[in-house]
Chains A and B, each alone.
Chain A
Amino acid sequence: MNSTIDREHAIDQLRMMLLIRRFEEKSAELYSASKIRGFLHLYIGEEAVAVGVMASLAPEDGVVATYREHGQALARGVSANRIMAEMYGKQEGCSRGRGGSMHIFDAATRFYGGNAIVAGGIPLAVGLALAEMMRGCNTVTCCFFGDGAVAEGYFHESMNLAALWKLPVLFLCENNLYAMGTAIRYTQAAPDIAAKGAAYGMKATAVDGMDVVAVEGAARAAADHIRKGNGPYLLECRTYRFRPHSMFDTELYRTRDEVNQWKKRDPIDLLARRLYDTGGFNDQDMDVLEQSVAVEVEAAVAFAEAGTLEPVEDLTRFVNSERSDA
């Protein structure tokens, strides 16, 4: 940390990663207590990716995420209260309880879901970027997807279209090595994902997805490249999911030893250690962060608990604009 600004920024990044971690740990607990239902996919272990990438984006940029999107939503600035209320199925939730964990949408932060068809959000991002380009806006549309999505036709068609039209898309692959429970070595003939970007004529790099400083640096470089009018960019973040794929996963496909090896590179520990090592940050500072995060998570739970259920009479609202469909 070379300057006060860097240090403060790093502490903000650490706090956001902690918030995501504690928010999701609480979510898992609430799932077990049946407060949250449906599918719940936790991001724990991958926090450095969302936090690093969001730091490279401006408020006017757009974000398209996947069904494992609590981390992206929080890091983008979507309120923890409204995300928790959404998972509770309350009308105070960001999607008024119509989406749940997998479909967090937020117009105020240009957060376009929460897309639960693997790779289905990728062409949306291409179209959003096309609209921005045609409207003369110099923005970036950042599209998150996993290594599983790379096997879908959407990925390939969208990469071609975006490169062909030089669209301002940041293709952000979160490579956590598993498509649900199947390792990438069983699904990809050529598992170097960044290399696929070059095949479509776009700049592509890979970065250590457990290191938030490295992710932010790489994402800033990618976003700058895009903002200068050079077309799309594929950034592969190599990361790892510490928790099961969803709450129903018994994790038969990987060893505890493998998970423990990756936990040695926990993104929160990595950044905290760096802050300790460079001085001016100690256990007491860490406690302050933990406490402030705990307060925010508890407030989110209280907000969700106090939330109300939308009247059943409004069931068909928002299917069509200003009319209930026959």
Chain B
Amino acid sequence: MSKQSATVETSYREALKEAIREAMTRDERVFLMGEDVGHYGGCYAVSKGLLAEFGPERIRDTPLSESAFVGAGIGAALGGMRPIVEVMTVNFSLLALDQIMNNAATIRHMSGGQFNVPLVIRMATGAGKQLAAQHAHSLEGWYAHIPGIRILAPATLEDARGMLWPALLDPDPVLIFENNTLYNLEGTLPENAVAVDIDKAKVMHTGNDLTIISYSASLFKCLDAAKALSREGVEAEVIDLRTLRPLDDATYLASIAKTHRALIVDEGWRSGGISAEISARIMEQAFYELDIPVERVCSAEVPIPYARHLEEAALPQVDTIIAAAKRMVSHG
């Protein structure tokens, strides 16, 4: 073996594309369909070039019919294929929510285990690009409410590259949420990047003073906050949840057992969101480990606005995370 495996310069977008290319090459049952995935190259250019490489049978442009093509993806999965359905944004996915909820998530159980739906649905999520209230919400926490589906939120290049294949191997439906601010994220990956674990959360920065639990684009804000806090002598442990359903409780509970303080950072709304679920689990399973109450930094309870200053004010930011962390540590 070589001393060190070679690395390549890549981006989140390229990593996603490479993952699709690998899956289509490894398994002829895999195909991609969605709006503008073919001739346009994908609305975030993830599938650019794949039409020429794999042809229109396997890179399928669909009409603007989210409910029909998501439903058709479910049907194709029932019929033995391994579809990857791309929905432009989570806001548009609501047009297909009935199919996701009432069919994809229920058919295995409702049929007494006779049928399963090995389907992957990818979609963009999140704010930060001034797209206003019909293109910028973070509804992955909503989807995480539903039994029968798995929810993935890749933040890193490694996960963008490595989550698709295990998602396709899952016999049940998997939704992959790609934050729209991450597509241009650049970095390096091993040349032979491989599939990643999709069951476990991951400690991204170690520390003993408090645990910051986050996922997706907010993860990087938390990591920036942790660096700044470290300069002031506060050592935060930052956890990337990676998978929102099923939640990996063990990883964040182990961290809280060490830090005794928990801060959840979520670009979704606070009321009834995934942050509320995590907070409840901490209360249920680690109440006596806590020195102070759990805190949350979430999006403001507004439809995400267009104007830059308002949008920024609506979202968790590095300074609001730092402020919450400092407040928590000083109370400890």
Q: Give A contacts to B, CB under 8 Å.
A: 62, 93-99, 103, 105-107, 112-115, 117, 120, 122-132, 134-135, 153-154, 157-158, 160-161, 164-165, 316-321, 325-326
Given A95-B114, A120-B98, A135-B80: A164 and B72 interface contact (C-beta under 8 Å)? no
Whether B239 is near chain A, meaning CB under 8 Å from some CB there, is no
Which single residue of chain A is at the shortest CB-CB distance from B62?
A: A161
Is B79 within 8 A of A120, CB to CB? no
Q: Which of A107, A129, A157 contacts B68 (CB 8 A)?
A: A157
Q: How far apart are the CA atoms of A194 and B156 in the complex, in Å? A: 52
* CB proximity of A197 to chain B, nearest CB, Å: 16
8 residue pairs, one from A and one from B, having the closest CB atoms: A127-B75, A123-B71, A131-B79, A96-B112, A157-B68, A105-B111, A127-B72, A157-B65
Taking A127-B79, A157-B63, A326-B246 as known contacts, 4 extra A-B pairs with beta carbons closer than 8 A to each other, sorted by chain A number, are A99-B111, A127-B75, A131-B77, A320-B108
| Given A106-B114, A120-B71, A120-B102: A161 in contact with B81 (beta carbons within 8 A) | no
Residues in B with CB closer than 8 Å to A93 are 112
- B34 → chain A, closest Cβ, in Å? 12
Nearest CB on A from B141, distance (A): 16
With CB as the reference atom, state the residue of chain B lying closest to A96: B112
Query: CB of B37 within 8 A of chain A?
Result: no
Q: How far is the CA of A160 from the CA of B72 in the complex (A)?
A: 12
Q: How far is the CA of A255 from the CA of B67 in the complex (A)?
A: 37
B 91-143 contacts with A by CB, 8 A: 98-99, 102-103, 107-116
CB-nearest residue of chain A to B61 = A164
Count of chain B residues with a beta carbon within 8 Å of a chain A beta carbon:
46
Chain B residues lying within 8 Å of A103, measured Cβ to Cβ, are 110-111
Is the pair B110, A98 in contact by a Cβ cutoff of 8 Å?
A: yes
Residues of B within 8 A of A (CB): 31, 57, 60, 62-63, 65, 67-81, 83, 98-99, 102-103, 107-116, 147-148, 150, 170-172, 245-247, 249
Asked if A132 contacts B111 (CB within 8 A), the reply is no
Q: Which of B79, B98, B108, B114 contacts A62 (CB 8 A)?
A: B79
Is chain B's binding surface mostly helix, strand, loop or mixed?
mixed
In the complex, which residues of chain A have a beta carbon less than 8 angstroms from the beta carbon of B72? 123-124, 126-127, 130, 158, 161
Of all chain A residues, the one with the shortest Cβ separation from B113 is A318
A-B contact list, 21 entries, CB within 8 Å = A95-B114, A99-B110, A105-B115, A112-B115, A117-B98, A124-B72, A126-B72, A130-B72, A130-B79, A134-B57, A154-B71, A157-B69, A158-B68, A158-B72, A161-B62, A161-B68, A164-B63, A318-B113, A320-B172, A321-B116, A326-B247
Judging by beta carbons under 8 Å apart, are B78 and A112 in contact?
yes
Known: A113-B107, A120-B102. A161 touches B69 (CB 8 A): yes
B84 to chain A, nearest CB (A): 13
Q: Which B residues touch A132, using CB under 8 A?
A: 79
Query: CB within 8 A of A124: which of B103, B114, B246?
Result: B103
Q: Are A318 and B75 in contact (CB under 8 A)?
A: no
Residues of B within 8 A of A131 (CB): 75-81
| Min C-beta distance of B277 to chain A, whole Å | 11
Chain B residues with Cβ below 8 Å from A135 are 79-81
> Given A161-B65, A326-B249, are A122 and B80 also a contact pair (CB < 8 Å)?
no
Whole-angstrom CA separation of A114 from B62 in the bound complex: 27
A161-B62, A325-B147, A326-B247 as given contacts; A123 in contact with B67, CB under 8 Å:
yes
**When the two chains form their complex, are residues A321 and B75 in contact, meaning their CB atoms are under 8 A apart?**
no
Across-interface contacts of A97 in B (CB, < 8 A): 112
Bound state CA distance, A12 and B16, in angstroms? Answer: 56
For the complex formed, measure the closest distance between the CB of A73 and the CB atoms of chain B, giving whole angstroms: 13
Of all chain B residues, the one with the shortest Cβ separation from A315 is B109
Cα(A51)–Cα(B330), bound, Å: 75
Q: Which residue of A lies closest to B149 (CB)?
A: A320
Q: How far is the CB of B143 from chain A (nearest CB, A)?
A: 14
Chain A neighbourhood of B108, CB < 8 A: 318-321
Pairwise interchain contact A160-B63, C-beta atoms closer than 8 A: yes
Instruction: Tell me which of B76, B109, B115, B150 contacts A127 (CB under 8 A).
Output: B76
User: How far apart are the CA atoms of A98 and B111 in the complex, in Å?
Assistant: 7
Asked if A98 and B112 sit within 8 Å, CB to CB, the answer is yes
B74 engages A124 (CB within 8 Å): yes
**CB <8 Å contact, B71 and A127:** yes
A316 CA / B115 CA spacing, docked (Å): 16
Q: Which residues of B contact A130 (CB under 8 A)?
A: 72, 75-76, 79, 81
Tell me which residues across on chain A come within 8 A of B83, comparing CB atoms: 127
Specify which chain A residues have a CB less than 8 angstroms from the CB of B62 in the assembled complex.
161
> Distance (Å) between the CB of A150 and the closest chain B CB?
15
Alpha-carbon gap, A129 to B76, bound state (A):
7
Are A128 and B75 within 8 A (Cβ)?
Answer: yes
In the complex, what distance in Å separates the CA atom of A130 from the CA atom of B74? 11
Given A120-B98, A320-B148, A326-B246, A126 contacting B113 (CB threshold 8 A) = no
A134 close to B31 (CB less than 8 A)? yes
Q: How far is the CA of A123 from the CA of B113 in the complex (A)?
A: 21
Whether A126 and B171, one on each chain, are in contact in the complex, defined by CB atoms closer than 8 angstroms, is no
| Closest Cβ–Cβ distance, residue A196 to chain B (whole Å) | 15
Q: How close is B197's CB to chain A, nearest CB, in angstroms?
A: 15
Q: With A and B bound together, what is the CA distance between A5 and B172 in angstroms? A: 46
